[in-house]
Structure formats: C-alpha cells, structure tokens
C-alpha cells in the first residue's frame, strides 16, 4: 500500500479501502502538481442502537461484556486494533476511522433497558474496550458521563479503559462508586517519548498528563492500573523498564500489557506509516513483529494474539515480569469489583418483589 502525505494531527498515512468494498481506488503519482490537501475535519454521526451491551466469550480478556459509546476514535492511534471495524460501515480503517465518528446518544437509555431485563445477571461492564470512551468528542456529547450515572444509580460495577485525562471530569461519580468497590480505571501508556507519541497517538494526551491522571485517581481512592499497550518491537520496547518504573512512581499497584496486533487492513496501514515516519527501521520493525507472530503480520489465535509467541515475545514477557517484580507491581490484574449491591431499574407499573 502506498503511503500518503503526513497530515498534521492525524495518525493514518493512508486510507485503505474497507475489505468488503466492491470497488477500490488507490492514489497514483502522475507528475501533475497539486496543492497538499489539508487535514480532514472530524465529522460526527448519530449511531442509533437497540442493544448497547456487547458480549464476548474470548479467553484472552478478563471480562465478558463491554459498552462502546463511540465508533471510530479521534485520538488517531495508528496501531489501534479497532480500526478494521470501520469496514463494517463501508468506511476506511485509515483516515475515516479517526474523522468519521459515530456517537451512540441513546446508550444510557439502552443501558437502563438492558439492566431492567428479567434475565440480566450483574457482572462488571468495561467502557472503552474497543474505542476510547473519553476521546475528545466526549467533552461535547457526555455519553460516557450518562452511562456512569446509570451505573452509579443502580450500583453496578464498571471498569474504564482510557488514555485520556478527561476521565477526571467524572471524578465525583467514580469516587462515590469506588467507596463500594464498584469502579476501576486503567490508563493506557504506550511511550514516554513525546516525539514518538505525536506520531503514534497524535490527538491523545501526553504521557506526563496520563501519569498525572493516574496519581489523581489514586489519591481520590479510585483503584487504578496501567496498561502498557501496545508493545511494538524495535519502536517502544526499549522503554519497557522506564514505563513500569514511572507507573509505580505514579502509585499504581498493577500493570498489564499487550503486544502489537495488526489484524486485517491494519498490517498494510502500519507498514505504510513506518515508511513515512521511520523508513530507516521499517523492515527491522516488521521482521521482529513477524518473529512474534509465527512468521506472519498477525496471529489471531486465542492464547497467542495478546502476547505473541517465539523467543522475542518471550523476552518481552520476561522483561516486563522482572520489571514489575522489581517495582512491586502485580501483573494479575485488579481486584474483583462487587456485584452484590446491584439494584435492578424499575419503572412505573412494575410489580413489587415478594421478598
């Protein structure tokens, strides 16, 4: 895939056709002069939903249900494994993923309906498992805030995964829930290098701001952990020990990690991005990625897709484990949240319980 120009404030350097498209177009340099195209603006569309909770049976993740208030993500992280999901909307996993966003305005209402269902059984729900629930447009739409208010009202456990300091806006709700062990937050940190961050995650907060967010959450009594993700061979893996040490200094007690994943269109996109930003090491990076994926760009097999395989993947795992033990961090995840406090939503006309 040919890489396009580097666009200010955007992560993708290409716009591959979605894998279900009937027609494909590729830019061709024919020698004619033309002005550089400006960075595309962000557009937000309404995404009506009938059911808001997504269920999974994956053995690789420690939860079986999640909610994503938004589709697409303005943070523009070039490595995001969720990019190929935009193909289901007949949009490109490239620039479309970070500029054509979809907001699920009715999500809080649909959550109430889901929790009210007679067959619903309470278990922790994760916000932001696919795209960031605190991406910039959350400032305007406040869908995540609405969901948290539903969780708080009905004392339902929730875990949040984000890389945004905007989570501090909802400190009031999260602090109250944390007193009853109903809330947990995981902050994703990829690099401590600001230059690399601007390339990898152009519209995400700096690592310093994320570490400050970790400190504030911890001081407020909210259980918080750090997710070192993704670990990218030859790009940020040399920072493993420094990130673990910084996380420990910020006050976390546990740390998780995920190896770079390149499903579907993302593999070609990532190669194009490397050719633009790191041409001198593009081949080396992809060679090491394949070393961890059985000689391929990606391996989606359960049990291997999150951590990889082979000597290089084992070395990364050993380094993280040793760094965490030295820093006193747990690698087995956060403590379980309570589910016994849940109160099912009621509505006018509902029959009162007998017991």
Residue spans per domain, the chain: 43-252
Q: State the pLDDT at residue 197.
A: 96
Contacts (Cβ under 8 Å, ≥6 apart) of 264: 19, 84, 87, 93
CB neighbourhood size of 270 (10 A): 26
Pair of tokens at residue 218? 């911890």
Report the alpha-carbon distance of residue 148 to residue 150 in Å, rounded.
5
In sequence order, which ranges of the chain are alpha helices (DSSP H)?
Answer: 95-99, 107-116, 138-141, 143-153, 171-178, 194-200, 207-219, 240-250, 266-277, 282-291, 310-327
CB neighbourhood size of 264 (10 A): 18
Exposure class string for 134-157: b at 16+ Cβ within 10 A, else e? bbbbbeebbbbbbbbebbbebbbb
Exposure class string for 311-349: b at 16+ Cβ within 10 A, else e? ebbeebbeebeebbeebebeeeebeebbeeebeebeeee
Hey, what CATH class is 43-252 in? Answer: alpha beta
- 71 and 6 Cβ atoms separated by less than 8 Å: no
Beta strands 224-231; 255-259: pairing state? parallel
CB neighbourhood size of 234 (10 A): 18
Torsions phi, psi for 305 (to 5 deg): -65, -30
Q: State the pLDDT at residue 355.
A: 54
C-alpha distances in angstroms, 219 versus 144, 178, 203, 211, 232? 22, 12, 26, 12, 31
With a cut of 50, which residues of the chain have pLDDT below it?
Answer: 33
Q: pTM (2 decimals)?
A: 0.89
DSSP 151: H
Q: State the pLDDT at residue 254.
A: 95
- 74 and 39 Cβ atoms separated by less than 8 Å: no
Residue with tokens 């990889």: 308
Contacts (Cβ under 8 Å, ≥6 apart) of 158: 124, 125, 126, 127, 147, 148, 151, 177, 182, 183, 184, 337
DSSP readout, 318-344?
Answer: HHHHHHHHHHT-BSS-PPPPP-TT---
Question: How many residues does this entry show for the chain?
Answer: 355
- CB-based burial label for 291 (10 Å; 0-12, 13-18, 19+): middle
CB neighbourhood size of 173 (10 A): 17
Report the alpha-carbon distance of residue 107 to residue 85 in Å, rounded.
19
The long-range contacts involving 206-214, CB below 8 angstroms and separated by at least 24 positions, are: 207/246, 209/165, 210/163, 210/165, 211/246, 211/247, 211/249, 211/250, 212/165, 212/250, 213/165, 213/167, 213/168, 213/187, 214/187, 214/247, 214/250, 214/251, 214/252
Residue with tokens 């579907």: 264
């Amino acid at each position: 895939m040919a890489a396009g120009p580097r666009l200010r404030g955007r992560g993708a350097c290409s716009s591959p056709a979605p894998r279900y498209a009937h027609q494909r177009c590729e830019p061709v340099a024919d020698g004619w002069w033309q002005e550089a195209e400006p960075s595309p603006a962000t557009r937000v569309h309404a995404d009506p939903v009938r059911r808001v909770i997504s269920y999974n049976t994956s053995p690789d993740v420690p939860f079986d249900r999640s909610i994503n208030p938004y589709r697409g993500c303005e943070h523009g992280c070039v490595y995001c494994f969720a990019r190929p999901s935009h193909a289901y909307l007949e949009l490109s996993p490239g620039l479309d993923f970070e500029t054509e966003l979809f907001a699920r305005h009715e999500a809080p209402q649909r959550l109430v309906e889901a929790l009210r269902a007679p067959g619903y059984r309470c278990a922790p729900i994760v916000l932001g498992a696919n795209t960031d629930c605190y991406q910039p447009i959350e400032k305007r739409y406040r869908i995540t805030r609405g969901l948290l208010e539903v969780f708080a009202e009905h004392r339902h456990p929730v875990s949040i995964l984000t890389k945004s300091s905007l989570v501090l806006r909802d400190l009031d709700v999260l602090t109250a829930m944390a007193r009853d062990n109903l809330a947990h937050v995981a902050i994703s940190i990829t690099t401590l290098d600001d230059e690399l961050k601007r390339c990898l995650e152009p519209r995400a907060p700096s690592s310093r701001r994320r570490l400050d967010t970790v400190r504030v959450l911890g001081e407020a009594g909210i259980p918080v952990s750090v997710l070192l993700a993704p670990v990218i061979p030859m790009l940020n893996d040399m920072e493993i020990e420094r990130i673990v040490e910084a996380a420990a200094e910020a006050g976390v007690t546990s740390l998780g990690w995920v190896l770079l994943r390149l499903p579907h269109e993302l593999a070609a996109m990532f190669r194009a991005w490397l050719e633009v930003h790191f041409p001198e090491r593009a081949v080396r990076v992809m060679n090491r990625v394949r070393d961890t994926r059985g000689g391929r760009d990606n391996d989606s097999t359960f049990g291997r897709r999150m951590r990889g395989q082979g000597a290089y993947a084992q070395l990364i795992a050993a380094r993280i484990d040793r760094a965490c033990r030295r820093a006193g961090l747990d690698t087995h995840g956060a403590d379980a949240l309570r589910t016994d406090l849940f109160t099912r939503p009621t509505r006018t006309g509902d029959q009162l319980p007998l017991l």
